[in-house]
Amino acid sequence: MPAAIQTHALSKRYGATTAVASLDLTVEPGSVFGLIGPNGSGKTTTLRMLLDIIRPTAGTASVLGASPRSGGPALRRRIGYIPGDLRLGGRIRGRTLLHHLADLSSPVPPGSIDSLAERLGLDLSRPVGTLSKGNRQKLGLVQAFMHNPDLLILDEPTSGLDPLVQREFLEMVHEARAAGRTVLLSSHVLSEIQQAADMVAVLSQGRVVAQGDVASLRLNNLRHVRAAVAGTEPDTLQGQLERSAHFTGTVTAREGNAVHLRGTLAGGVDPFIKVLARYQVLDLAVEEPDLEESVLSLYGRPWEAPQTEEPEPGT
């Protein structure tokens, strides 16, 4: 089965400024693929190229087996999209707007609009212009999901939503995947990516700096450690750990002859364990960082990507 989304060397430049540089992505059908990155990393530009809202400077993209440029309305009807800068207003009521959008999309199953609105706690009788940011975002989610599209492209979809609605959104994503649909999810909410995504790409300065499943991104070299040993002095142990195990933290003497340490390993666990094995180990805990720390550690490596910028704010 061909990929739901495939890009090869996809690039976007604005004059001398590079927003996306030679991007290679493969999103398998029926999966949830997460895009993570700070403002200016190229996430929104990438999504807009996949939707033919903007045209790439170089490279190719395939979406549901078609070129975004040549796929036309037939392709767009198979996609549900919510932009990161969703702008809705006016005196039109939510229900009227959704029915108008339904006429432009694939057929919407009877009752789908009301069912989604009820799940999200959205009052469809109110004029769109009177809705809060969170309720406008709910309206955007309803229009993206209501026609059961083959592909959902969601740019910061939970912006402005309270935690209970965010949980309902994640359930909607899980249901879409279970039904065989594909979801491309761009988000700053890293817990959202952890809970929803099968695969993740980390974008920094227009390039992919890491890609894999969520577990593999968490299993990087960063570790939190806590231990207590006997048979050494704090200064001695601190020096050994800093030289041999890339340890950063504190080592103190407490409770008689016990020496306690707490800190972070920037390298593998093996050198750390070998240092501790010289002494009597009284206690030991090694913890993985969460995805947020893993991502931030990647952003802190400027040699991983050239200095580029994305001129579009809020991306």
Q: How far is Cα 20 from Cα 205, in angstroms, rounded to an integer?
A: 8
**Helix (H) or strand (E) segment spanning residue 42:** none
Q: What is the pLDDT of residue 21?
A: 94
* Reported pTM: 0.81
> If DSSP codes are grouped into helix, strand and coil, which group holds residue 233?
coil
Q: What is the pLDDT of residue 315?
A: 47
Q: What is the pLDDT of residue 302?
A: 42
Sign of CA dihedral 36, 40, 44, 48: negative
Pairing of strands 79-82, 58-63: unpaired
Q: How far is Cα 267 from Cα 269, in angstroms, rounded to an integer?
A: 7
Q: What is the pLDDT of residue 307?
A: 41
- How many Å is the Cα radius of gyration of the chain? 24
Please report which residue ranges of 9-52 form alpha helices under DSSP H. Answer: 43-50
Please report which residue ranges of 111-233 form alpha helices under DSSP H. Answer: 112-120, 133-145, 163-178, 190-196, 214-218
Q: What is the pLDDT of residue 215?
A: 79
Contact 22, 61 (CB under 8 A): no
Q: Which of 284, 277, 287 is nearest to 227 (CA)?
A: 284
Q: What is the pLDDT of residue 89?
A: 84
Q: Please tell me the number of Cα atoms within 13 Å of 122 on its side-chain side.
A: 32
Residue found by looking up tokens 């700053």 in the block: 188
The residue type of 229 is: V
**Rounded average pLDDT per 10-residue block, the chain, 315 residues:** 94 94 96 90 94 96 96 94 90 94 89 96 95 95 97 94 94 97 90 90 89 79 90 94 92 86 89 95 90 72 42 45
Q: What is the DSSP string of 289-314?
A: PPHHHHHHHHHT-GGGS------STT
Bridge partner residues of 225 (DSSP): 263, 286
A 10 A CB-CB count for 185 gives 24
Q: How far is Cα 185 from Cα 193, in angstroms, rounded to an integer?
A: 8
Query: What b/e readout covers 218-251, taking b as 16+ CB neighbours within 10 angstroms?
Result: bebebbebebbbeebeeeebbebbeeebbbeeeb
Q: What angle do CA 216, 219, 222 make, to 5 degrees?
A: 145
Structure tokens at 298: 């990647």
